[in-house]
Structure formats: C-alpha cells, structure tokens
Amino acid sequence: MNPRETLRTAHYLSGDDGGSASPKRETDSEQRGTLSSVREDENGESKQRDQRRNPDFSPESEHSKRMRNNRLNRSMESTTLDGRSTSLQAALPYVGFGVALVCVVFFPMLFDASYPRIINTILLVGICGLVLRTAVSPLLSFEHADPPVLEGDRPDVSVIIPAYDEAAVLGDTLDACLDLDYPNEKLEVIVCYEASCTDETPEIAERAAAEHDVIRAVERDEPGGGKAAAANYALQYAEGSVIASIDADHRFEPDALDRAVRWFDDPEVWCVKGRCYGDNPDESIVALLATVERHVTEKAELFARDVMDGFTIFGGGQAFFRHDVFDEFDGFDEEILVEDIDMTSRIHEFGKEIRVDPSIITYEEHPTSLRGLWHQRLRWTRGWMQVARRYLRTFPFQHGVSSRKKADAIYTYTYAIAPAFFVLGAPLTVLHWSSTFHARTYLPNDSVFWTAFTIVPIMAATLVFLQDWRDGLTHHRSEYLAMFVLPFYYSVQSVLFFVAFVQEFVLDRPNVYVKTDR
C-alpha cells in the first residue's frame, strides 16, 4: 500500500478528527520515559540514557552543548529555489572559463594535426570507465539482500525528519511513520522544523505531535541552515539506539524499519541504506527522467557496491544508523553540501560497515521543474567534488580498510570530478568531421565503444525494471519509454559537472544549500 493514500496533510491543518484520521498510538509518554535502553561504548561500558528520555531534557545537556557550538561556528546559508536568481550575466564566468579551457587544451593542435586524436582517446577511456560500471552493476544487483535474524528484542528507534517549507509532503511522511510495522513503545518520530518556515510546516508538525504521542515537534531557531544542521539539532532529542534519518518527502514502506534494524545484529554495521523509490514520474518530463535515472542508481549501482563488498554509499533521502555514529563523529558535517557522502567516508575510515538493502523502501518525490532539478543536482555534484577533494588524498592510506574498498573509493572520488571535462567532447565532435584534423581515437574499433555508451544505460534500466517485476514492484508505463532518453540525459549532465567544477575549484563560491522545491 502506498502511504500517500492514507491520512492527508489537510487533516493536520484543519484538526478534523473525521473517520480518515489514523488511530492514536496507544503510547504513554510517561511509560516511554521509564524504559531502559543501554548501549555499549568502545570500552564495553554501559551508558544509561534515562536522562535523555526525560520529557524535560534540555538540548544543552551531555555532549549536545559541544555539538551546538560546532553548529554555530560552521553554519551554511540556506535558501529556497525562489531565492536564486538566473541571468545571462551569471553565466558569463562559466562560458569564459569554458572557452579558455578549450583554447588551452586544443592549442597544441595548431602544430600537430593528430593532437585531437590523443585528447579523444583519453576522453573515450574515461567514459568507458563509467560505462563499464553501468553495465556490470545491474548484473550484480540480481542478488537478494538477506538481513540476519535479529537476536533478542528489537531496538528503540528514533526517526528524525528535518523540515523546511515541507507542508506539501510532510503530512504524508508522518502518516507513513504511523503506519510502520514496529512496536509503538520502541518508536519515536522527531520532526525538526525551521523557525523561518514560510508555509504551514510548523502547524502540521505541532498538530501531529499533539495528536500522536509517538511524534515530537522541535523548532530550530539558529543561524544557517541545510539538512545537516536540522538533523544535528534533532539528534539532541533522539533517544533510540538506532537513528533513522529521512527527508520530509520520504514515505516508509510499512516493513522498512523492521527490516533495517535486523542488519544491526552485526556489531560491525554502523549504517544501513535502503532504496529511494521515485513515485511521481507522471507529474512532468523532468520528474520522469529523474525517476528512471534514480532507479538505475538506487537499485543497480549502489546495491552492486554491497554485493562486491566495495565502497558502499548511503547517499539519498534515507538511512539508518547506530547512535554510536553520532557520538563518535559529533553529528553530520554542516560545512559540506552532501553531508551523507562525507559521513559515508568517515564511517569507512573508522573501519565500520555500511550495508545496502534495496528491499528497504521509502517513496520519494523528484523535482518537477528543470530549474528545480538543476539546482538539486548541482548541489549534489558540487558536494561530491568537495568530498573527493577532502578524502582522495587520505582515504587510500587508511588502516583497517580493505584494498577493494580503497580501490573502489579512489574510482568513486575520481569520477566525482572527471566528468567535468567530458564537455570537451563537444569540440571534438566538430573536429571529427573536419578533414584537416584527425579526431578519431587510437583504440581499435572505437565506434563500438561509442555505441556502447548509447546502449548500456538503456540495458541497465531494462535489467532494473526486470528485477523490480520479479520482486513485485511496479512502474509507470512512461518509464519504459523514458529509458531510451537516458544516453542523452547523461550526456547533458557533463554540463552540470562543468558548472560545479568551476564553482568549486575556480570561483571558490561559498556553499549555499538550495532547498529542493515541492
């Protein structure tokens, strides 16, 4: 059942308790406060969390004061899509650098007509690295993830939901949390909304908290913003030994949480990543293409990393953690645009495991406008470059990390930056048809490789759809047609990488968290 078909946002706004309302959870907050929950620290010593279960708990207790000071010292500007301006003048630095790059790279061809052939060969080899992974990943992802049988009682879980102007989706997300197949007395949902919200998000959060003991609404009124800042603020109130972090537009499948906690029976597992399943492909062509792209990434590419015991990633709008992660690292890094990928690297550096299970599903919405998709993916792409810049020189030398994970991490970090130079393929295409210069590659039968670049993304999507059919998952019929546009879609993304590269390495623009529009 799709959780979007349950209690609607309007209920939380109107206060109407008509028959559509979900039954109130039979959870007594005072009874919850007496539950004992113990976690083991690195020395094997027990840490009681009874104080944190006190309803009067202050965020200035324990180590949260240090976390708060860290947040205030590294705040990032946050804005909505409406707060971003677009003009031709703003594009001039990127055009200028692009022209300069082409002039510098292709200047030697004035003296050697075969020089473009060298550049084209390097470019094709680089593209082949991506195409090869895209081809192999869906083949590996035919495997089934098999979480262990949980020994003992299920752990207490805190679901944290950062929310800034999320009135359009927050009600559905909370409904899905209430529909989880998980013991009520072991579950809490913390909605951290920004004081600067301009829509009905605060009213929805507070109304839900008043109606359901399992939900707690927390207002954040601090400088700076972004998902990491809100998540860190919510973590101060989290009581569970397992933390589930989801975006405000994500709706759990009822069995998602119960399946996720089973992976934590292995003490080496510090994070579990499920599958973000796009469910609005019918809203626009942009949402359709983004949905198909993310299906390939979430089901094939990310899960294949787990199958091959590689550099697993929990990027996306949902993940599950041991609380120890945040005790060890003092929360998410608020200075970086993709706090999830940064935390991925830190967990691997610490020698712990991240497992990927695509059967743990949350439904998500993709941007419906080209402008919205552009800003979302630009934030992701530049954030990936920041992570690569930070870890590419240090991660390969970490002790306690397997050689396979190191090699996969080097590949991942490298390809977080390398596609920025694929834009050079445009002038090479022009030179290819010139009789003056030689723009073919030195690879034999290079046309086969260029053809593979067209066929492989379509093949990958086909295999993902086949796996989903096997597993009983459905897709909108338009998705089966949209996969034929993927090669063009991926080609255009090289422009996105180029713009992100210029912002990060040339212009050194300050980080701004642009919220995804709904």
**Tell me, what's the pLDDT at 48?**
38
Confidence of residue 226 (pLDDT cuts 50, 70, 90): confident
Q: Output 102 or 3, whichever has higher pLDDT.
A: 102
Is residue 165, in this structure, part of any structural domain at all?
no
Q: What percent of the chain stands above pLDDT 90?
A: 67
Confidence of residue 15 (pLDDT cuts 50, 70, 90): low
- Mean predicted confidence (pLDDT) in 95-105: 92
Other CB atoms within 10 Å distance of the CB of residue 100: 11
Is it the case that residue 363 has pLDDT exceeding 50?
Answer: yes
Q: What is the pLDDT of residues 366-420, one digit of tens each?
A: 999 999 999 999 999 999 999 999 999 999 999 989 999 999 999 999 999 999 9
**Angstrom distance (rounded) from CA 480 to CA 313:** 27
Is residue 237, in this structure, part of any structural domain at all?
no
**Tell me, what's the pLDDT at 440?**
80
At 62, which amino acid appears? E
Window from 28-42, 238-252, 288-302, 386-400 with minimum mean pLDDT: 28-42
Is residue 164, in this structure, part of any structural domain at all?
no
Other CB atoms within 10 Å distance of the CB of residue 498: 21
Other CB atoms within 10 Å distance of the CB of residue 349: 16
Centroid of chain to Cα 371: 19
**Tell me, what's the pLDDT at 144?**
95
Residue 418 lies in domain: 91-148+266-517
**Tell me, what's the pLDDT at 432?**
65
Strands 353-364 and 251-252: antiparallel
- Mean predicted confidence (pLDDT) in 238-252: 96
Is residue 205, in this structure, part of any structural domain at all?
no
Q: Tell me what the pLDDT averaged over the chain comes to.
A: 85
Q: What is the pTM of this model?
A: 0.85
Is it the case that residue 52 has pLDDT exceeding 50?
Answer: no
Is residue 254, in this structure, part of any structural domain at all?
no
Is it the case that residue 179 has pLDDT exceeding 70?
Answer: yes
Is residue 39, in this structure, part of any structural domain at all?
no
Is residue 248, in this structure, part of any structural domain at all?
no
Contact between 316 and 273 (Cβ < 8 Å): yes
Number of domains in the chain: 1
DSSP state letter for 36: -
Specify the long-range contacts of residues 328-331, CB closer than 8 Å, at least 24 apart: 330/63, 330/66, 330/67, 330/70, 331/67, 331/70, 331/71, 331/228, 331/231, 331/232, 331/235
Q: What is the pLDDT of residues 253-268, one digit of tens each?
A: 999 999 999 999 999 9
Is residue 242, in this structure, part of any structural domain at all?
no
CA distances from 304 to 121, 131, 413, 416, 464 (A): 28, 14, 17, 18, 12
Residue 462 burial (C-beta neighbours within 10 Å; 0-12, 13-18, 19+): middle
Q: What is the pLDDT of residues 334-356, one digit of tens each?
A: 999 999 999 999 999 999 999 99
